């Protein structure tokens, strides 16, 4: 707890350009939770280098991502928006937790298996211990709740196991976090292969809507979206393409699938695709405008980066010192 509020931690990697999936599935949830919790939203750049990165590109993407958190509506005065690499406690706690995590546990992580297969030329030990760093992120702030997508559930379970193991040896040191899975329908699928999730690392640019796509591009991508042959707007398992478009439309307009079916009863796919495209444009437009304005204000963003790194460091150090003492490191002489 900080004051009388529970603590929330989440983060995103600055790899690739964010998609509508990241926005509707993650960022938008973060906004809804930000009043209820004391929130830490990190740009997890330590995680990013588990895959080889171009340094200039990584720096630029990380700044864009941090700016985008704010452009999406997270208030940086209330939410601690910061770079993971600016708080050395993440790496320090990760080292300690590595000594409380079994190789058998890490061997079971499916994301490691997937990424190792994808980057066969660079299976480094950081990629292997990635989940321990993620556990350190969460436990460092004593987070009660962690909003994540389904793909990260295995890592969150591991975090809970590590916390419980540590607490069983040393007493109540860590809060054991709960996952917060967003609402159903928050999984946005590819526009080209609607049985696959929309992903920022998809090679086909038509499969994803990027947050910075201009209105014409957005409309064009929706016009080309793969649909089915039934030619009616119905929310059914048999029409994954249309179902995905309905999910997107509902997420952007607040309507329900039933209302959407009624609205487009008797109309063709062309009209519907156009409406979906327009609803997305109207959701993304203000975010894009705020992003453009914020990007121009270097001093403002720099101020946020500095202030929030200090705030994050304060809370991180509190936990870290406690943990260091518990495991038997000598006290610092002041």
Output 149 or 185, the one with its CB closest to ligand LTN: 149
44 in contact with ligand LTN (CB under 6 A): yes
Ranges within 25-54 binding ligand ATP (CB under 6 A): 25-26
120 CB-contact burial (10 Å; exposed 0-12 / middle 13-18 / buried 19+):
exposed
207 in contact with ligand ATP (CB under 6 A): no
308 in contact with ligand ATP (CB under 6 A): no
Question: By the 8 A CB rule, do 208 and 193 touch?
Answer: no
CA 170 to chain centre: 31
Q: Which long-range contacts (CB under 8 A, 24 or more apart) does 182-185 make?
A: 182/25, 182/26, 182/29, 182/147, 182/149, 183/29, 185/247, 185/250, 185/251
175 in contact with ligand LTN (CB under 6 A): no
Q: DSSP letter at 172? A: S
99 CB-contact burial (10 Å; exposed 0-12 / middle 13-18 / buried 19+):
exposed
User: Residue 2 in 3-state DSSP?
Assistant: strand
H-only helix segments in 72-152: 89-98, 103-107, 110-118, 125-140
In the complex, least distance from residue 51 CB atom to ligand ATP, rounded to whole angstroms: 9
* Interaction pattern, residues 95-134, with ligand LTN; x per rule: CB under 6 A: ---------------------------------------x
Among 199, 206, 217, 324, interactor with ligand ATP by CB under 6 A:
199
β-bridge pairing 178-180 and 38-43: unpaired
Question: By the 8 A CB rule, do 278 and 51 touch?
Answer: no
* Interaction pattern, residues 142-171, with ligand ATP; x per rule: CB under 6 A: ------xx-x--------------------
Question: In degrees, to the nearest 5, what angle opens at C-alpha 69 toward C-alphas 65 and 73?
Answer: 155
In the complex, least distance from residue 26 CB atom to ligand ATP, rounded to whole angstroms: 4
16 binds, among ligand ATP, ligand LTN, none (CB under 5 to 8 A by kind): ligand ATP
In the complex, least distance from residue 29 CB atom to ligand ATP, rounded to whole angstroms: 8
146 in contact with ligand LTN (CB under 6 A): yes
**115 annotated active-site:** yes
186 binds, among ligand ATP, ligand LTN, none (CB under 5 to 8 A by kind): ligand ATP
188 binds, among ligand LTN, ligand ATP, none (CB under 5 to 8 A by kind): ligand ATP
Catalytic residue among 200, 255, 311, 326: 200
- Among candidate residues 23, 116, 113, 105, the one with its CA nearest the CA of residue 72: 23
In the complex, least distance from residue 277 CB atom to ligand LTN, rounded to whole angstroms: 27
**326 annotated active-site:** no
Catalytic residue among 60, 77, 113, 115: 115
**262 annotated active-site:** no
Measuring CA to CA, how many Å separate 26 from each of 18, 93, 156, 265, 334? Answer: 11, 26, 16, 31, 43
Output 199 or 317, the one with its CB closest to ligand LTN: 199
Residues that bind ligand LTN (CB under 6 A): 9-13, 44, 47, 134, 137-138, 146, 148, 152
């Amino acid at each position: 707890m900080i004051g009388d509020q529970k603590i929330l931690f989440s983060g995103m990697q600055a790899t690739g350009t964010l998609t509508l999936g990241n926005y509707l599935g993650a960022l938008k949830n973060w906004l809804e939770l930000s009043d209820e919790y004391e929130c830490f939203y990190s740009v997890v750049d330590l995680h990013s280098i588990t895959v080889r990165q171009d340094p200039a590109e990584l720096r630029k993407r990380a700044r864009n991502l941090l700016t985008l958190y704010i452009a999406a509506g997270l208030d940086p005065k209330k939410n601690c928006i910061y770079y993971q690499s600016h708080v050395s406690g993440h790496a320090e706690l990760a080292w300690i937790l590595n000594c409380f995590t079994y190789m058998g546990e890490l061997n079971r992580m499916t994301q490691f298996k997937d990424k190792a297969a994808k980057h066969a030329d660079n299976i480094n030990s950081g990629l292997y211990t990635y989940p321990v760093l993620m556990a350190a992120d969460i436990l460092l702030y004593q987070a009660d709740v962690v909003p994540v997508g389904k793909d990260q559930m295995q890592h969150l379970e591991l975090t809970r196991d590590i916390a419980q193991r540590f607490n069983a040896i040393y007493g109540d040191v860590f809060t054991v976090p709960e996952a917060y899975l967003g609402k159903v329908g928050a999984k946005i699928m590819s526009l080209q292969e609607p049985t696959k999730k929309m992903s920022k690392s998809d090679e086909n640019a038509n499969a994803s809507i990027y947050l910075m796509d201009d209105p014409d591009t957005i409309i064009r991508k929706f016009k080309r979206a793969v649909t089915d042959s039934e030619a009616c707007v119905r929310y059914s398992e048999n029409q994954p393409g249309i179902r995905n478009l309905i999910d997107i439309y509902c997420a952007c307009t607040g309507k329900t699938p039933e209302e959407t079916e009624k609205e487009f009863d008797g109309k063709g796919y062309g009209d519907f695709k156009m409406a979906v495209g327009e609803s997305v444009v109207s959701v993304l437009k203000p975010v894009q405008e705020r992003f453009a304005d914020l990007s121009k204000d270097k001093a403002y963003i720099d101020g946020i980066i500095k202030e929030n790194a200090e705030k994050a460091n304060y809370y991180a150090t509190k936990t870290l010192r406690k943990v260091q003492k518990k495991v038997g490191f000598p006290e610092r002489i002041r």
